[in-house]
Amino acid sequence: MVICPGQEVVVVAIVGDQRLGKVATCRPGASDCCWLISVHDPWMELRDIAFYDGQVYSVDGRGCLYAWSVGEDKYTGEPTVVLRSDATSEFTVFRADLTRRRWVEVKSVGDDTVLFVGRWSSVSRRVSRYSMPGNRIHFLDDDDAFSRHHFGGYPFCGEQVGAYDITDGKTYPLLPPRELHNDSDTTATWLFPREEEGVFRWSDLPSDVFGQIMSLLLPSSSDERLRLALVSRDWRASIMRHQRRLHPPAVAHLALPNCRIFEYPHLKSHHHFKDCAAFTGAASDDWLLFDDDGGILRLTSPFTGKTRLLPSLSVIHSWDGPVEIENEPASSAMAVQKLLVSPDGGLVAAIVGREYFAKLALCTMDTFSWSLSAHDRWRWYEDIAFSDGKVYALTGDEDLLAFDVGIDTDTGNAVVSHVKRVVKRQLPRHSSAKVRYLVRSSRGELLMVRRHFSLSGETTVRFSVFRAELRSSRWAEVSTLGDYYSDEVLFVGRPCSRAVRERDGVRGDQIFFLKDESCAPLWAERIRRDVPGYHAGVYDMRDELITDILPRQPWCDSPAPTTTWLFRDADGLDGGYNE
């Protein structure tokens, strides 16, 4: 969230879930104050926003920069994007070259400049008067979206705050005091109080110039200076500015949800603000964001006490006016992420979309056309499965959704008539879990299989299995497949997952998986990964050991991994059940 300066104050925010969002605007204090979004603007994986040169700029997960015209700017510099790598071991800074429409990597931000980056507030500051080293990036381990994407939802295991030296590439963790360790789910945030502004006359001079004038006109006695300040309001304001020059305020403040605000970088002296407990975020400069009763949003400055009320996000208005989109190619056609055929062969269900933006699409052989609900939500889906006449979907949040399928009487198309969350995620997220599969067992129960990777995202280290208990709406971990499915073997893969009975020397309590499926982070795509030497592997639930199978033949196998499992009808568990 940012506050755009101008004749009329405009608040701009990214609204949506933790993956997809839109840019929304509102004008606090207006008679028709509400949040406004465009119905024609696409939902995107927006990561951050900033105000520059009269426009709001946003950057998405792919590094694309977008601009919206909002107001006029007089505070910020050139837009930059900071790329953060795995476990905060490295930062890379890019400058936006708006003329050539590209990002240019910069090796230095300046010997007198540091960057403060965080989920809620990121700024650039000159630090020579604070006796701080420049060319550094001060960061918070507060990026939920980053940790959620790369580490399954766990926060970083490192310190809460640190500094990255761009010159030598080293990270200097700043050990926080005891007060920084709190049990709140809200992360810390940067605050940057603005220096007092006002309208001055002749005394509105640079502090060093005014200081020289005072040293010539006045004795060195601080008492006489104080009396002079009492006589002249203008001189008093200038004296205050001169004193701030001699004793500048902190370059930044670190706000915690336990009412404490520390001066950075010392993290020693702090202030306790009772009215600042349990904030949910921050905005530009020194504004903390609160979600009050009734969904009303409130911006409050702990330093000045000023408050601005914002409307609830429940009253977002969609604007149907035309939107001119410049220099952005149209989105590519939706791709099929997963496709299943119902046991009777009459219905095809598919996850269609891209990345975290997908819907359930249905097709019947009678109508030979796809349909999806315009009113259903776009979600991040991991897998789908048929069971008991319904389509079940596993989301990236490990929720299990049940879709009732009906028939449109006008068109004859299969449609989604009802969606219910039957299992709500209550399990702690494991830092290495990256891929999840949904498998129907021989007893008709639904199993969630977690595939755990190393931190590099390329090596499978183990599996864990959970059973959907629909009556209690929770996941129950199964220690071994032998507890409930003694003769069962699981085959898991992105294209197809299946549970079959043990046979031909393959005993139960094992999970067969494809080696070609990796979970390297998005930033690691620039690193060329070696093709695995085996097509598949077997995980033994009893001894937790992994064995590689099906060696790859370099002279005949395609270099592009396209492996999948196939099952004949005779392999079905209950008379004709077929995926």
Whether 245 contacts 257, CB under 8 Å: no
* pLDDT tier, 114 (very low <50, low <70, confident <90, very high otherwise): very high
Quote the percentage of the chain above a pLDDT of 70.
64
Strand, coil or helix: 477: strand
Beta bridge partners of 104: 95
pLDDT(153) > 80: no
Distance CA 281, CA 14 (A): 12
Answer with the residue of higher pLDDT: 407 or 128. Answer: 407
Q: Is the pLDDT confidence value at 123 over 90? A: no
Is the pLDDT assigned to residue 158 strictly greater than 50?
A: no
- Whole-model pTM over 0.95: no
Between 427 and 154, residue with greater pLDDT: 427
Give the pLDDT score at 355.
65
* pLDDT tens for each residue of 217-252: 555 555 555 454 444 555 556 655 555 555 566 778
Q: What are phi and psi of 204, to 5 degrees?
A: -80, 70
Of residues 301 and 173, more confidently modeled:
301
pLDDT of residue 466: 93
pLDDT-based confidence at residue 318 (cuts at 50, 70, 90): low
pLDDT tens for each residue of 42-87: 677 788 888 777 778 888 877 788 777 654 334 444 556 566 554 5
- Mean pLDDT for 492-498 is 88
Please tell me the predicted confidence (pLDDT) of residue 5.
64
Other Cβ atoms within 10 Å of 518 Cβ, number: 18
Q: Who wins on pLDDT, 325 or 543?
A: 543
Least confident of 133-147, 348-362, 436-450: 133-147
Cα 242 to Cα 245: distance, rounded to the nearest angstrom: 5
Q: What is the per-residue pLDDT for 379? A: 87
* 31-45, 222-236, 440-454, range with the lowest pLDDT: 222-236
pLDDT higher at 534 or 98? 98
Position 299 pLDDT exceeds 60 = yes
The CATH number fitting domain 332-425, selected from 1.10.287, 2.40.170, 2.40.10, 3.40.630: 2.40.10
* Model confidence pLDDT, tens digit, residues 454-485: 776 678 888 999 999 999 999 999 887 765 55
* pLDDT attached to residue 13: 83
Q: According to the model, what pLDDT value does residue 374 have? A: 81
Question: What mean pLDDT is predicted for residues 480-503?
Answer: 79
* pLDDT score at 345: 81
Domain with CATH 2.120.10 in the chain: 2-195+249-319
Q: How confident is the model at residue 385 (pLDDT cuts 50, 70, 90)?
A: very high
pLDDT at 156: 37
Q: How far apart are CA 579 and CA 571, in angstroms?
A: 11
pLDDT at 573 over 60: no
More confident residue, 560 or 16: 16
pLDDT over 90 (residue 438): yes
Mode of pairing for the β-strands spanning 474-478 and 510-514: unpaired
Rounded mean pLDDT of 501-517? 80
Helical ranges in 198-341 per DSSP H: 207-217, 222-231, 233-246
Residues 6+ apart with CB under 8 A from 577: 343, 440
Of residues 331 and 445, more confidence is placed in 445
Tell which residue, 120, 68, 73, 71, has the closest CA to residue 319. 68
Confidence of residue 418 (pLDDT cuts 50, 70, 90): very high
Q: How many Cα atoms occupy the beta-carbon half-sphere of 497 within 13 Å?
A: 25
**Separation of alpha carbons 287 and 302, rounded Å:** 8
Per the structure block, which two tokens stand in for 19? 């993956």
H or E stretch including 148? helix 144-151
| Strand-strand pairing, 381-387 and 390-395 | antiparallel
**pLDDT score, position 200:** 43
| Residue range(s) of every CATH 2.40.10 domain in the chain | 332-425
Question: What value does the mean pLDDT of the chain take?
Answer: 74
pLDDT value, residue 351: 92
Structure confidence at residue 149 as a pLDDT band (50, 70, 90): very low
Confidence of residue 120 (pLDDT cuts 50, 70, 90): confident
Cα 562 to chain centroid, rounded: 30
pLDDT interval class at 579 (50, 70, 90): very low
Q: What is the mean pLDDT of residues 308-330?
A: 72
Query: Which pLDDT band, with edges at 50, 70 and 90, does 394 fall under?
Result: very high
CATH entry, 2-195+249-319, from 1.25.40, 2.120.10, 3.30.160, 2.40.40: 2.120.10
Main-chain phi, psi angles of 236, to 5 degrees: -60, -40
Residue 446 pLDDT > 80, yes or no? yes
